[in-house]
Structure 1
């Protein structure tokens, strides 16, 4: 199989990433997250006559989900999301509607695959394992592809970690602080990062933002990475 992982990056929103994973023999693809790039993704699919069969959402934050509703309706593909994050897709206070975006995830024509337990899938010749971790959001899910690639959403980045409550402890109230306070579990968040480092050292890591395709050694060998400065499991 010739496999292509094409990254669609939005430089205007913290280099947020969407990943289109293509089986060239079948000319079929899956998508992980949206990155406010769904229009460009659809144009790419049309240009190369690629069939999008499935979308996987790592977590509900709108920088990863805006446009996926429209893309699902245009292509007829299914959207996979953890049960704990699904309600937030419909919540107009957090799903992007609050910023003036048109959000239509409650459209009955959208096919959702809502999971609670981890599942093993074979789609388009890809082996996909869903690994629910929680932490950053209640339903944050890692997706392992072909035992070689791990898509981790906003958990671990090459030079930092994702948003969690401790980061906002001394900051003034804001919509983002309120969202993180309500939906993040720091203990699970720290544990999820530990699991990446301990259990997936041979995998290539594909995060929700910034540089993709790094290994955990890139983190461990960076003395300035916050993971290496943790104290009592809290990142300072």
Structure 2
């Protein structure tokens, strides 16, 4: 499997496009610029299978409806944030005047617990990582040694917890219990900024050392 990081929108939220040898693809967190994502899919002759959401803040779902409706893809999201898709107050889009109120249709697949997901030939483990938001999850691909962490863990930092439903103590516990239990060589592909590794963050992250 290979993945492409695609910073999108005013906040430069990282969307990811994953592809395997069969040209199947998954889209993680399409936050804005739907045409850019769909052009990439078309130019690389990919066959998208689903959209995975790490959480439902506006900057991670801004292009969701356009991509879902055009490519006819199912969406995966944790149950704790199912109603956030249609609620601009909870998804945060009302907090930023430059952002249009974000309202999306419900997710087709609601995650209620940690589980293994198999979508086409993709296999990953869903890890519940609340704190930045109540329904935050990470998608861990063991065979590829990468975890898509959303806004839980960043290079040298952690997610903000001053938005609706945020809790810093819960977030730090999630990182320590879930993400830091992964092998040290695991690549962390975050919702913003550059990639890092679990081992590097264990040793250097000032919020966690």
TM-score (ref. length: structure 2): 0.88
SS at match of 2:130: coil
Uncovered stretches (5+) of structure 2, i.e. residues with no partner:
none
2:133 counterpart of 1:137 = yes
Where in structure 1 do 4 or more consecutive aligned residues deviate above 6 Å? Answer: none
Which runs of structure 2 are paired with 1:151-190 in the superposition (5 Å)?
A: 151-164=148-161, 177=162, 180=163, 182-190=164-172
- Aligned partners of 2:87 and 2:103 also within 8 Å: no
Closer, same or farther: CA 162–95 of 1 in aligned 2, 3 Å: closer
Closer, same or farther: CA 135–96 of 1 in aligned 2, 3 Å: closer
Report what 2:180 is aligned to: 197
SS at match of 1:73: helix
Report what 2:100 is aligned to: 101
Report what 2:147 is aligned to: 150
Report what 2:206 is aligned to: 225
Report what 2:63 is aligned to: 67
How much has 1:63 moved relative to structure 2? 0.8
How much has 1:104 moved relative to structure 2? 4.7
Closer, same or farther: CA 31–192 of 1 in aligned 2, 3 Å: same
Question: In the aligned structure 1, how far is the partner of 2:207 from the partner of 2:157?
Answer: 6
Structure with higher Rg: it is 1
Question: In the aligned structure 2, how far is the partner of 1:157 from the partner of 1:103?
Answer: 25
Backbone CA RMSD of aligned residues: 2.1
Closer, same or farther: CA 47–85 of 1 in aligned 2, 3 Å: same
Which runs of structure 2 are paired with 1:7-26 in the superposition (5 Å)?
A: 7-10=5-8, 12-13=10-11, 15-23=12-20, 25-26=21-22
Report what 2:79 is aligned to: 83
Uncovered stretches (5+) of structure 1, i.e. residues with no partner:
165-176, 229-236
